[in-house]
């Protein structure tokens, strides 16, 4: 049945169908309509406008949104949401002063998560992940990218990708799958043997099974080099698979240049960025994805968001939800952090977490804005005075209802 939402106090983030992402200067604005209606047909936004132009004479289910603001759902373009167990012991070690690398050297870090993934059955991993994502949907996430990378051997990476595939089929939101076999090195084989396995066996097999929407690699000192990154991106191109790359989290080692020149869709993290990296970003159309939750949780530097904006470089904001560096996927909190710590205005943060997030996972044709023909994936807020209140009330999700494909998530 069609649904008509009436008396919307503010219908926010209205964008033209041609807008696949917004530029740095366009990030300053959230175009909106006051006192609006929105019509949903077959799960899609079919019309919207001023209340004075409300469609008449048909049978609609009516939702009265008096006093409420409506936004598109959050588009979280960088997560590691398929994992099992927690790493809360590392949290305590970190509070006591150990660094990310010291924790990894002690047997924690990515290898610990890999150990946990290797032991769990596919079905249990699916159930645990499904519940976790369902909680995220209730917090307003309507599109999500999920990476493998805690398998670190053929069977476990395959298990993770198959879980992501099953999640795509059983959850109502849009999910993109990223193969991150090159996330760390397992202890059992040499670094070169493992990397060879990733690019010459896992990637071809998983791509052929249609399990991979994107490839990723942890381009970082002690992990993978810029040269490894280029090899992976080039190999993935043979299968028409674009790249989203972990770069510049702790060190700038040339990954941005390689990613931009090879037309990666996104470069993610960017806590440590130098002038050459900025110059490279200006040359291409690769979208930076900033992850303030990771800086907050690890206590590392925040990405220089204002510097990117002053260089006319737009970006997306995502959660990086994972058990090691950001154990939350709550985008409401991430947007608050983006405002508080990256010093973004709510408009800039919301653009980063909607349309530019959608672009960073190839979904801006169907999500990320209020546009006729896009999915009716909507947030109906509680009674708020302005969008400023969303990040202002830190830790308090001011969402009343979430609609996915026009259906309320209960
Ligand atoms: O994006 N930096 C690499 N990968 C994750 C962290 C993984 C982990 O510690 O489990 C990240 O922060
Ligand atoms: Fe990550």
For the chain, what are the domain ranges?
Answer: 3-73+368-408, 75-359
Contact call for residues 93 and 136 (beta carbons, < 8 A): no
| CB 287 near ligand 1, within 6 Å | no
| CB 271 near ligand 1, within 6 Å | no
Please state the φ and ψ torsions of residue 206, each to the nearest 5 degrees. -70, -35
| CB 109 near ligand 1, within 6 Å | yes
The residue contributing the CA closest to ligand 1 atom 11 is 325
The residue contributing the CA closest to ligand 1 atom 9 is 324
Find all residues with CB under 8 Å of 25, minimum gap 6, and list them: 312
Q: What is the pLDDT of residue 26?
A: 98
Please state the φ and ψ torsions of residue 46, each to the nearest 5 degrees. -100, -25
Instruction: Give the chain's residues under pLDDT 50.
Output: none
Q: What is the pLDDT of residue 107?
A: 84
What is 75-359's CATH number?
3.20.20.140
Class of CATH domain 3-73+368-408: mainly beta
| CB 325 near ligand 1, within 6 Å | yes
Q: What is the pLDDT of residue 101?
A: 84
Q: What is the pLDDT of residue 1?
A: 72
Q: Is the dihedral of CA 140, 142, 143, 144 positive or negative?
A: positive
């Amino acid at each position: 049945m069609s649904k008509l939402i009436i008396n919307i106090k503010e219908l926010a983030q209205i964008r033209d169908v041609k807008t696949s992402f917004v530029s740095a200067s366009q990030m300053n604005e959230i175009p909106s309509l006051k006192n609006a209606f929105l019509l949903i047909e077959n799960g899609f936004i079919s019309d919207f406008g001023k209340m004075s132009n409300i469609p008449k004479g048909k049978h609609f289910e009516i939702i009265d949104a008096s006093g409420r603001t409506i936004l598109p759902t959050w588009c979280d373009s960088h997560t590691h949401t398929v994992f099992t167990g927690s790493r809360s012991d590392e949290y305590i070690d970190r509070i006591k002063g150990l660094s990310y690398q010291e924790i990894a050297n002690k047997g924690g870090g990515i290898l610990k998560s890999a150990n946990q993934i290797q032991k769990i059955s596919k079905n249990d991993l699916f159930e645990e992940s499904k519940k976790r994502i369902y909680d995220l949907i209730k917090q307003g996430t309507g599109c999500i990218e999920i990476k493998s990378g805690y398998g670190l051997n053929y069977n476990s990476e395959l298990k993770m990708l198959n879980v992501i595939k099953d999640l795509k089929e059983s959850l109502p939101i849009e999910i993109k799958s990223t193969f991150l076999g090159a996330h760390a090195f397992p202890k059992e084989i040499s670094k070169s043997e493992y990397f060879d396995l990733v690019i010459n066996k896992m990637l071809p097999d998983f791509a052929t099974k249609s399990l991979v929407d994107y490839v990723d690699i942890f381009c970082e000192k002690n992990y993978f080099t810029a040269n490894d990154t280029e090899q992976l991106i080039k190999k993935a191109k043979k299968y028409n698979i674009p790249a989203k790359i972990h770069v510049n989290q702790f060190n700038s080692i040339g990954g941005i240049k390689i990613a931009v020149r090879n037309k990666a869709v996104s470069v993610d993290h960017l806590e440590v960025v130098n002038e050459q990296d900025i110059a490279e970003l200006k040359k291409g159309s690769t979208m930076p994805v900033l992850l303030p939750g990771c800086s907050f949780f690890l206590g590392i530097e925040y990405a220089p968001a204002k510097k990117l904006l002053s260089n006319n470089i737009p970006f997306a904001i995502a959660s990086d939800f994972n058990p090691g560096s950001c154990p939350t996927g709550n985008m409401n909190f991430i947007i608050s952090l983006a405002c508080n710590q990256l010093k973004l205005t709510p408009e800039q943060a919301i653009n980063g977490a909607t349309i530019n997030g959608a672009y960073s996972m190839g979904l801006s044709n169907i999500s990320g804005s209020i546009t006729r023909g896009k999915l009716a994936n909507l947030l109906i807020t509680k009674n708020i005075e302005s969008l400023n209140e969303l990040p202002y009330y830190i830790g308090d999700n001011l969402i009343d209802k979430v609609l996915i494909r026009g259906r309320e998530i209960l």
